[in-house]
Amino acid sequence: MYKNIRRTHAKIGDFMVKSLLRSDLAGDLIDQLEENKHYTRDVHHHDGLKEETIELLQDFDDLGKKKGIYVEISFEDITQNDKQETLIISLKDKILTYLRSFSLKEDPLILVCGLGNPYLTSDAIGPRVVRDLWVSHGLDKSLRDAQGLKYVMAFSPNVLAHTGMESSEVIQSLVDHYHVDVLIVVDALAAKNYTSINRVIQMSDVGIYPGSGVGNHRLPITKELLKIPVLCIGIPTVVSIHNVFFDLLSTLESYFAWMKAPENKLKIGHVSAYQGTLSAEEKTYLLGEVGRLEMEEKRQLIDEVLSPLHQHMILCDKQVDLSCELLAKIVSSSLNRAFMKESS
């Protein structure tokens, strides 16, 4: 039955590519790369946040990632005001670090673009961030200076299905017409694991390829295309059903391993994670032939089962309304603080 599972793997250099992986996060992809050869990584923990800086040392087109610096801030519960404030400050500091690295002229014109469909909650983070920004492009310089505001304009281009126009082309027109000095793009992303949904904010200086995480490829928005620096801010709000099935299978294995310990059999209630491993024999006994498969082969099996049924669903969290609204306000607050001149 399982002899038809595809066992061919695409190659990049001397490491394997998991072709079925659907993720926009750099942190989800580096397990396929070799540290210090293909990337460097620096991790810090503080105040309940995990700040991870990943520098890709070359382009990896098969993984959908370009050479550059990716910063991911991971967190758990941010419903409390003090947690939100900590995240806002951390995000503001990272934004300022990126802007300083661009070596911009004095008083540069900053364009913030919120990508996505404003009528689809899981895709509306970009438009909602733009909604809450303090824009100053329409003010006289003397008034901007008096209020301590940097030179900022904002726009949400909506999506191709609603406008008939590519976001990249609309943004290019704005950049050329207003002589924009730096572009900040905010968008929703797709994650590899459901545990990352609404729990990570990623920043990068490599541009963005809208819709790539869900297979809906649009024209890129990059420094090479626009001829100005581009800072991308993204939040994973959805996950592919293929990855959910794979995560469920992995969690099931971990659960069986966790239950082997006699002290765990009587435990009830919430646990943070199942710990433990199964031997090859135990995997086969509990999961049958599926238990014999390697990780990539399991991904391929899930793809082969779901694809003929056209089961290419993209899923979001049940609290997507609350989470996306809250995260949009956090990102807009961070940008607003970064756009105050005393923050320079």
Average pLDDT over residues 151-160: 92
Q: Structure tokens of 56?
A: 């890709």
**Structural domains in the chain, sorted by start:** 2-242+317-343 (3.40.50.1450), 243-316 (no CATH)
Cα–Cα dist 115/129, whole Å:
10
Residue 241: C-alpha distances to residues 156, 292, 303, 312 (Å) = 29, 22, 10, 7
pLDDT-based confidence at residue 22 (cuts at 50, 70, 90): low
Average pLDDT over residues 177-186: 97
* pLDDT greater than 70 at residue 6: no
Cα–Cα dist 125/329, whole Å:
9
Residue 235 is predicted with a pLDDT of 96
Q: What is the mean pLDDT of the chain?
A: 85
Average pLDDT over residues 36-41: 92
281-338: pLDDT as tens digits: 888 888 888 888 887 788 788 888 887 777 678 888 888 999 999 999 999 999 999 9
Record the pTM.
0.85
215-263: pLDDT as tens digits: 556 688 999 999 999 999 999 999 988 888 888 888 888 888 888 887 7
Q: Are strands 230-240 and 182-191 parallel, antiparallel or unpaired?
A: parallel
Sign of CA dihedral 8, 63, 163, 201: positive
* pLDDT greater than 50 at residue 14: no
